[in-house]
Structure 1
Amino acid sequence: MVEADARGNPSYNERWILFVLATVQFITIVDFMIVMPLGPQLMRVLHIDPAAFGLIVSSYTLAAGAAGLVASATVDRFSRKSAFLVLYAGFILGTLLCGFAPNYGTLVFARVLTGAFGGILGGLSMAIIGDVFPDHRRGRATGALMTGFAIASVVGVPFGLVIGNHFGWNMTFIALGLLGTPIFFMAAYALPTLDAHFGEAHVSPLESLRRTFTVGNHLNAFALIIALTCSGFLIFPYVSAYYVGNIGMSESQLPWVYIVGGGLTFVASPLVGRWADRAGKLFVFRVIAPLSAGLMFAITHLGSGEIILAVAVFGALMVCNVGRMIPAMAMITASVAPRNRGAFLSANSSVQHLFGGIGAYVGGLMVSQAGEGAPLEGFGTVGWLAAGIGLISVWLAGRLRSGEQGDAISATELSLPAAAEAAFDASEPLIALVDGASDLNTARLRPSDPELRRNRDTQYLQ
């Protein structure tokens, strides 16, 4: 699939590459997100309590976080194609194992396997985009890749939930595995080798981690992303079970909750990005984060039978969750000096995965269920905790300082991938979106807003 242009430079079949990467993006995101709305059925069929279900959710994210740290030391030793095919094969194997899992223990093991391989695929896809597409076409290519997330959120998750409701939860994973298998052979055919990075000098992974975790402003940024991730993961894995057990929503009605939430998210995300660029990231965050905290409290204290209100509150919470994540990611990215952003954002992805898993597990320990289909007990307490952490994030955001004066980061450009972060697919290094360096170690973000360029010497975060 590699030809040479008139100047002898490699010329790739870019449409095939984008199709493969976007399809893999779609499959991995549906695989990750579908577990949460399948919660009521998983708890009923497997005869497990909410804490055990929380481990199903957290096992994926914990494995992805650990694998991300390992990958930072090893993935650049292989060609992009070889690494992608091995990781994707492991992911498909894990997904199929989820579908054929005969019991709870096997399912948890399968989620660990799926997370360890699937959690790295998003970042590697971004690296392939950076290697294949020149700078002037890289933004459009990244946008096409992000359509995989958009379709997964609005169409894939609800449709996967319909399959699970009609044919059993395991058929959702089997369908994903069967859908993804031919894509492996397409990837083997379409992807170029991409091994030019072999000759590059890389900082020792341990030294890179030491530098990343010993800078005060980096620690402030990590604290903010931990607060945002934990507050969301405390609640979202258990919303479906709460809606079924406490509010009285049927499992067949759950897909509409995610259709509404996903649709509102992708309408709102670019609007919030533009607002943050005009009004200031910190200001917009301070407006939306308390609203998000209030909705976290509200969604955990709804009354029985309030189905329409439950759908509306979920949609509003998704919008506010995106609304706080977009300016937060812009501020976090700008808080790090450009030369350190690749290492920092790789570590940031692992931190998000790890603390997302911790949040999901802690949330499961705090709630209980008397029996199959019974109301969740203690979810209101979880709401108080999540809302409190959400409010603390307002103070943490104010502690961030710009890593380089005038190195402006456009929230509009980050709006769609930040929406992915807000929906808890934390595997995408946002650094790859706007500058398109061929690898994360050399990535830099550039100011794209003309007004921001004219004000390069102003304090950006404030």
Structure 2
Amino acid sequence: MTDTSIKATPLNRYQVLITVIIALLLFTIVVDYMLLSALSAILLPALNLSTEQFGALASAYAFSAAISSFISTGFADRFNRKSYLLFFYFGFILGIVCCALAPSYWVLLAARIVTGIFGGIVGSTCFAIIADLFLLNQRGRVMGFVQMSYAAGQIGGLPLAIYAANTFTWQAPYWIIAFLGLAIGLALVFFMQPLTEHLKQVQNQMPWQKVLQVIHKKNHWNVFLNNAFLVIGDVLILTFDAAYMANNLKLSLEKIPLVYVVTGGVTLLFGPIFGRLSDKLGKLKVFTFGTVLSIGAIAMYSNLQQATFAMIITIHALLFIGINARMVSSTALGMEVPKLKDRGAFMAFDSSVQQLASALAAAFAGLVLYTTTDGSLSRYWLLGLIVISFMLATLFFMQRIQSTIHKA
């Protein structure tokens, strides 16, 4: 099987509907995931947090998500994917409500753990559904559209959340996510059909045997490590991004939402383009382009001593274009590696690895950086060098993934 296709298969109406629902569902997951970092400039003084405490807070979701995803590896292919998704998505909404009710650091920390237990499995289940419903020569376009949920989160979700936090309290954005998530969950209940085709191929195995089966295959680890390195690079540079803009580059809190709006708009524009290019030109070529662009943006951004608003926006736009190209192409290609009967378990374990990587990266970022007496963050340049090294490593793994698929 090759990475490219002479003629892309069109999507039918049901596939389009499911793509939209999944994109909206992931929109809430993405906004929640990015929200804490975006609120770093507000939360650090509001709760009197050190960088180590904030790093722990940011990693709490990921650690709990990693554990729950790992446990679910042995069970993910034993249930109707629709029912499985509904259970964990409504659990995620419950966790969001807990965040909205949190009055202090420790209660918020516990709420983030609850949210991670459920939310960490939602994304992997969505990607398993995409892999089940769409052919390889359709997935680039689907992932390009689904990736728009990240852009929509930046354009509408984060600015609205930051505005609500500035106008009311930092808990207000979580109420918005909870009510929106409830509406999307109901749409999922009424419009998605049951997904049980994979149940016909599942063998009678104990959960631990399923886990061993997934992790024993060497070609799976190319995907696991590639995605882990992708996540580590993104989380390292973005966890303290808002605080870096506010305290080091002296950007006002009122202008920070505009950065997310502009970069989100660029991502929204390029997401579908990268999806089509991935299907037409090949996933590896698009991924390489995105990696080179991201490295250049990070090299500039992490070494800034001062910058204009226009410069900050431009560098962010280039960075998120690169990140978008990398995520669309790598996800679309990686989905082809597991067999249908292993897909849910594969995605669950992959999610576990990514969440663990995210947790470690967020905590590590808090250890690398420290707050000086004037409130600025020191050693951001070092963080940039570490991120670039992880990005270079992903090129090696993507090449191995493509070679594995070509041999299949």
TM-score range relative to shorter protein: 0.7 to 0.9
Structure 1 counterpart of 2:29? 28
The residue aligned with 2:330 is 328
Deviations 1:251-279 (CA, angstroms, capped at 9, x unpaired): 11111111111111122233334444555
Cα deviation for residue 47 of structure 1 reads 0.7
Residue type matched to 1:247 in 2?
Answer: L
SS at match of 1:316: helix
Deviation of the 1:238 alpha carbon: 0.9
8 Å CA contact 1:126, 1:142 repeated in 2 = no
TM-superposition CA deviations, 1:280-331 (whole Å, max 9, x none) = 4434434442332232222111122422211110110111122233333344
Structure 1: gaps of 5 or more residues: 1-12, 408-462
Q: Residue 258 of structure 1 aligns with which residue?
A: 260
Q: Distance in 2 between matches of 1:333 and 1:19?
A: 19
For 1:68 and 1:366, how far apart are their aligned partners in 2? 28
More helix by proportion, 1 or 2? 2
- TM-score scaled to structure 1, two decimals? 0.73
Match of 1:246 among 245, 248, 252: 248
The residue type paired with residue 253 of structure 1 is K
Cα 1:325–1:143 change in 2 (3 A) is closer
Matched-pair contact (CA < 8 Å) for 1:221–1:332:
yes
Q: Tell me what 1:450 maps to.
A: none
Give the direction of change, closer, same or farther, for the CA distance of 1:126–1:263 in structure 2 (3 Å limit).
Answer: same
Equivalent position of 2:398 in the other structure: 397
* Cα distance per residue 1:63-98 (max 9 Å; x no partner): 222212222333555555654444233222211211
Residues 336, 404 of structure 1: 8 Å contact kept: no
Aligned amino acid, residue 151 of structure 1: A
Cα–Cα, structure 1 residues 84 and 345, in superposed 2: closer, same or farther, change >3 Å?
A: closer
- Equivalent position of 1:67 in the other structure: 68
Q: What's the counterpart of residue 42 of structure 2?
A: 41
Residues 247 and 307, structure 1, Cα contact 8 Å, conserved in 2: no
Amino acid in structure 2 at the alignment position of 1:35: L
* 1:114 corresponding residue in structure 2: 115
- Cα distance in 2 for residues equivalent to 1:132 and 1:401: 21
Instruction: Say if 1:138 and 1:252 are closer, same or farther in 2 by CA, change over 3 A.
Output: same
Deviation at 1:363, TM superposition (A): 0.8
Q: Per the alignment, do residues 248 and 347 of structure 1 end up closer, same or farther by CA in structure 2, a change over 3 Å counting?
A: same
1:221 matches 2:232: no
Q: Provide the rounded CA distance (Å) in 1 between the counterparts of 2:24 and 2:104.
A: 29
Residues 387-414 of structure 1: CA distance to partner in whole angstroms, max 9, x if unpaired?
122223333434445334376xxxxxxx
TM-aligned CA distance change 1:114 to 1:133, over 3 Å: same
Q: State the Cα distance separating 1:336 from its structure 2 match.
A: 5.3
- Aligned residues of 1:338 and 1:404 also touching (Cα < 8 A): no
Query: What is the DSSP-based 3-state SS (H/G/I as helix, E as strand, rest coil) of the residue aligned with 2:274?
Result: helix
Structure 2 vs 1, CA of residues 62 and 305 (structure 1 numbering), >3 Å: closer, same or farther? same
Q: Deviation of residue 227 (structure 1)?
A: 1.9
**8 A Cα contact 1:38 1:161, kept in partner:** yes
Residue of structure 2 in register with 1:435 after alignment: none
Closer, same or farther in 2 for the Cα pair 1:394/1:22, shift >3 Å? closer
Higher alpha-carbon Rg: 1
CA distance in 2, matches of 1:17, 1:268: 21
1:307 equivalenced with 2:283 (yes/no)? no
2:49 is the alignment partner of 1:57: no
Counterparts of 1:182 and 1:327 in 2: how far apart (Å)?
30
CA distance in 2, matches of 1:164, 1:201: 47
Alpha-carbon distance in structure 1 between the residues aligned to 2:66 and 2:186? 27
Once the two structures are overlaid, the 10-residue window that deviates more, 247-256 or 202-211, is: 202-211
Deviation at 1:248, TM superposition (A): 0.7
Identity of aligned residues (%): 29
3-state SS in 2 of match to 1:402: helix
The structure whose RCO (Cα within 8 Å, separation 6+) is larger is 2
Q: 2: distance between equivalents of 1:130 and 1:179?
A: 26
Distance in 2 (CA, whole Å) between partners of 1:404 and 1:171 is 46
Q: Secondary structure at the match of 1:47?
A: coil
Cα shift at 1:157 = 1.9
Q: Which residue of 2 aligns with 1:165?
A: 166
Matches of 2:55 and 2:258, distance apart in 1: 23
The 1:62–1:130 alpha-carbon spacing in structure 2 relative to 1, beyond 3 Å, is same
Tell me the residue number matched to 1:234: 236
What one-letter code is carried by the residue in structure 2 that aligns with 1:62? F
Cα 1:195/1:169, change in 2 over 3 Å? same
Aligned counterparts of 2:371 and 2:80: Cα–Cα separation in 1: 49
Distance 1:283 1:48, change over 3 A: same
Q: Which amino acid aligns with 1:367?
A: L
Cα deviation, 1:181-215, whole Å, max 9, x if unaligned, reads 45556666666777787776444432333233233
Structure 1 partner of 2:209: 207
Give the TM-score taking structure 2 as reference length.
0.81
Please provide the CA RMSD for this pair. 3.7
Matches of 2:234 and 2:184, distance apart in 1 = 32
Unaligned stretches of 5+ residues in structure 2: 1-13
2:88 aligned with 1:87, yes or no? Answer: yes
CA distance in 2, matches of 1:207, 1:374: 51
